[in-house]
Amino acid sequence: MGTRQAFPTELMSGARLFLALSLGAIALALMVYPLRTLRRTRGISDIEKRAPDFDGRIETYDKLAVQSEEGAGKPSPFLGLLAEDALNLARRIPVSLKVPNWEISAPAALAVIALGALVWFAAVGPDNWRYGVRHLWAGWVLSDTLPPQRVVVNPGDGAVRLGGDLFIDARAEGFDPAEAEVFALFEGSEDWESAPMLTGEGDDFEFTFFAVREPLRYYVVSAGVHSPEYSIEVVALPRVRNVKLTYHYPRWTQLETDITDPGGDISAVAGTQVEVEVTTDQPLNGAELMVNGEVLAMTTAGAVATATLEVEEDGEYFVSTFFNEDPVRLTDDYFIDVVPDNKPVVNVIRPGRDWKASNIEEVSVRIEATDDLGLDQLDLHYSINGGEWSAISLDVDGAYTLSEEVLYLEELGKTVGASNLLDLLMENEQSAEPETEAVVSSLEPGDLISYYAEARDRDTSERTDLFFLEVQPFDRSYSQSMQGGGGGGGGGGQQQDEISQRQKEILLATWNLIREQGEQTGFQDEQQLADNAQMLSELQRTLAEQARTLANRTRARQLTSVDEQIQTFVESLESAAEAMIPAADRLVDLEFDQAVPSEQEALQHLLKAEAVFTDIQVSFQQGGGGGGGGGFAGRDLAELFELEMDLEKNQYETESPASFDRVPRRKLTKPLPSSRSLRAGRKASPGRPIDNNP
């Protein structure tokens, strides 16, 4: 309270009186009252309470002694014996039991803490607190316990243009007032006028005189402390007719020079050079630009003044001229707003979804990218069967680009072998017959091309969703199994792409985690990211176990010896399961970029297995019924596939249409939840359906 009111004498005197009364009350409570109680009771009950071993001896002795004195007779013969017995007990009782250490140390510690706090406030505490403590305790003896107290006012004496605004800023030193008041006397008026000042930044107070047309005198009062009296002159200065702004943007924005006429507030990206040109109705006697408290000299030529400022941070600026060598405002404040550099926006609008094509097709990919300032780079990235990413640079021009790139699958097929060319050459050095055929190999049914687009500006980049091109046979084989026969039912048609679809969802969810990983802002985001990664890892391991179980069951039924296609199907499943394990490990470690290649490889093996499975079904259906071995193998494999993938059915309740004995079936595992329900699930881009069919 003292700091708020500049330590007035009345308040400090009352505080000292209250302090003295408080100390007196404490002394009375801690010393006088206990001594009076001790005289009245002689401490007998307290001693008996602290030392129970006396067992009432002292109290009994006291009563007998009092009775003897009141009866004026002979003292009781037991007094001496009782006193001797009590004395012997007292010698065996330690002093610390009679007066515990804590009853001395605790008050002493509190006193030391209180004294230390008092010394700290008086010596090194906050300024106003330090002076306040000194003045409270010693101000009645010493005269220099208070700091210099004053109210500092800006601009003090000065001048303002006719009709301009006058901004007053006041700051208290040596005390911390809660309010301040400005007093003003205008020319031609006899009475001082007053108005409360507004609280500004920090401990400052602010007030604005609007449209000043007469000279005035003013001062500020706060907590009884008066500032000096200041004078403001009103002068007729040149009037600003126009402010013209010329924006010279940084080169990286790729923006042309822009002119705003008339101008005022500035809005531009950081690093922009803005030329401010001020035109007045009269020639200027010098001018300056005040930008966020810094002065920039302006070049004057008659009635035109120019200066260039660089946009670095939000703030404000104004233009001043000179009157009697003092700066006088010509304009009000104009704001400076730094425009953020937002991320680019990029979308794949054709095909805009996952696509299936033969290995000789040409797939057109159309990409749209925009940026608020300008694109630096636009790339189409693709990977074949989980291999290394390749990039195709697309042309960009300005802030909007619509580019189209054709993927020639027949040509891309050649790069499948070419990517391993170095390994082949090293092997050929040790072999007499170079294997050059691998370099010109083509894509096969079941191969997978993953691709996405990435747009970059100066500091940031943005990726699209991950899309897939699945290679399908141009002309499906309808040849019968070499074992002949065929027949019967056999399900699995609806479930044949179930396992690859689940793997695709895990891959897409991982891709979205990569995109979200750079956007996390706090512990909760990091924890949610880790939780999603853990869940995806568990889903990946579950899917690997399903693929491995299906392969093992197929081998256990000796179906691989019946048809080479079934052998290829099983090997593809086993390869997919092997690729899923390192992917799951990478997910747990939050190494999403390293998990994607393994997930892509697993998906490619699954697609190959499903392509082979489709051929097996075709061969089985074209067999025309009957009981051939190939027909039984195809039907048995179809039912196994359906049984493993259809997690909605209870395997114990599903009747088998097979005409032969089967191995015992395992209990149904918990259904695999779709990763689309996760926060890390696939985000549908505008215009992009989540669809796997062309």
At 246-265, the pLDDT tens digits run 999 988 887 889 999 899 99
Rounded Cα distance between 355 and 381, Å, is: 16
pLDDT at 676: 38
User: Which has the minimum average pLDDT: 200-214, 322-336, 516-530, 625-639?
Assistant: 625-639
Encoded tokens for 88: 């012997």
Type and span of the H or E element at 307: strand 304-310
Taking residues 531-553, what's their average pLDDT?
89
Determine the 3-state secondary structure of 655 from DSSP: coil
Rounded Cα distance between 592 and 509, Å, is: 10
User: Which has the minimum average pLDDT: 18-27, 70-79, 639-648?
Assistant: 639-648
pLDDT at 640: 62
- Render pLDDT for 359-416 as a digit per residue (tens, 0 to 9): 888 889 999 998 888 788 899 999 888 888 889 999 888 788 888 888 888 887 655 4
- Render pLDDT for 298-311 as a digit per residue (tens, 0 to 9): 998 888 999 999 99
Evaluate if residue 685 carries a pLDDT over 50.
no
Banded model confidence at residue 426, pLDDT cuts 50, 70, 90: very low
Determine what percent of the chain is predicted with pLDDT higher than 90. 17
Rounded Cα distance between 176 and 183, Å, is: 20
**Amino acid, single-letter form, for residue 259:** I
Neighbouring CB atoms inside 10 A of 670's CB total: 7
**Amino acid, single-letter form, for residue 221:** V
Contact between residue 359 and residue 290 where contact means Cβ atoms under 8 Å apart:
no
Higher per-residue confidence, 20 vs 488: 20
Determine whether 103 is exposed, middle or buried from the number of CB atoms within 10 Å of its CB (0-12, 13-18, 19+): exposed
Phi, psi of 145 (to 5 degrees): -85, -15
Evaluate if residue 656 carries a pLDDT over 90.
no
pLDDT at 192: 92
Evaluate if residue 682 carries a pLDDT over 50.
no
Closest CA to 114 of 2, 23, 3: 23
Closest CA to 323 of 161, 156, 154: 161
Mean pLDDT of the chain: 75
- Render pLDDT for 204-247 as a digit per residue (tens, 0 to 9): 899 999 988 899 999 999 888 888 999 998 888 888 899 999 99
Encoded tokens for 604: 């490619």
pLDDT at 82: 73
Encoded tokens for 569: 């199907």
pLDDT at 492: 43
Determine the 3-state secondary structure of 286 from DSSP: coil
Rounded Cα distance between 335 and 268, Å, is: 11
Determine what percent of the chain is predicted with pLDDT higher than 70. 66
Determine whether 331 is exposed, middle or buried from the number of CB atoms within 10 Å of its CB (0-12, 13-18, 19+): middle
Evaluate if residue 316 carries a pLDDT over 90.
yes
Evaluate if residue 33 carries a pLDDT over 50.
yes
Rounded Cα distance between 573 and 236, Å, is: 90
Evaluate if residue 596 carries a pLDDT over 80.
yes
Contact between residue 352 and residue 396 where contact means Cβ atoms under 8 Å apart:
no
Displacement of CA 300 from its chain's centroid (Å): 49
Dihedral, 504, 505, 508, 509 alpha carbons, nearest 10: -150
Encoded tokens for 96: 């610390």
pLDDT at 172: 85
Evaluate if residue 418 carries a pLDDT over 60.
no
Higher per-residue confidence, 538 vs 328: 538
Taking residues 536-541, what's their average pLDDT?
91
Evaluate if residue 126 carries a pLDDT over 60.
no
User: Which has the minimum average pLDDT: 59-63, 539-543, 601-605?
Assistant: 59-63
Closest CA to 400 of 361, 455, 356, 465: 455
Token pair 């001018």 is found at 287
pLDDT at 3: 44
Evaluate if residue 690 carries a pLDDT over 80.
no
Rounded Cα distance between 649 and 668, Å, is: 8
Which of the listed ranges 83-97, 153-167, 257-271 does the model predict with the highest average pLDDT?
257-271
pLDDT at 626: 41
Closest CA to 254 of 264, 240, 269: 269
pLDDT at 340: 87
Token pair 């060598």 is found at 325
pLDDT at 90: 74
Type and span of the H or E element at 290: strand 287-291
Taking residues 278-282, what's their average pLDDT?
90
pLDDT at 441: 63
Banded model confidence at residue 653, pLDDT cuts 50, 70, 90: very low
Neighbouring CB atoms inside 10 A of 480's CB total: 18
pLDDT at 688: 39
Which of the listed ranges 31-35, 102-106, 448-452 does the model predict with the highest average pLDDT?
448-452
Rounded Cα distance between 479 and 484, Å, is: 10
Cis peptide before 340 (omega within 30 of 0): no
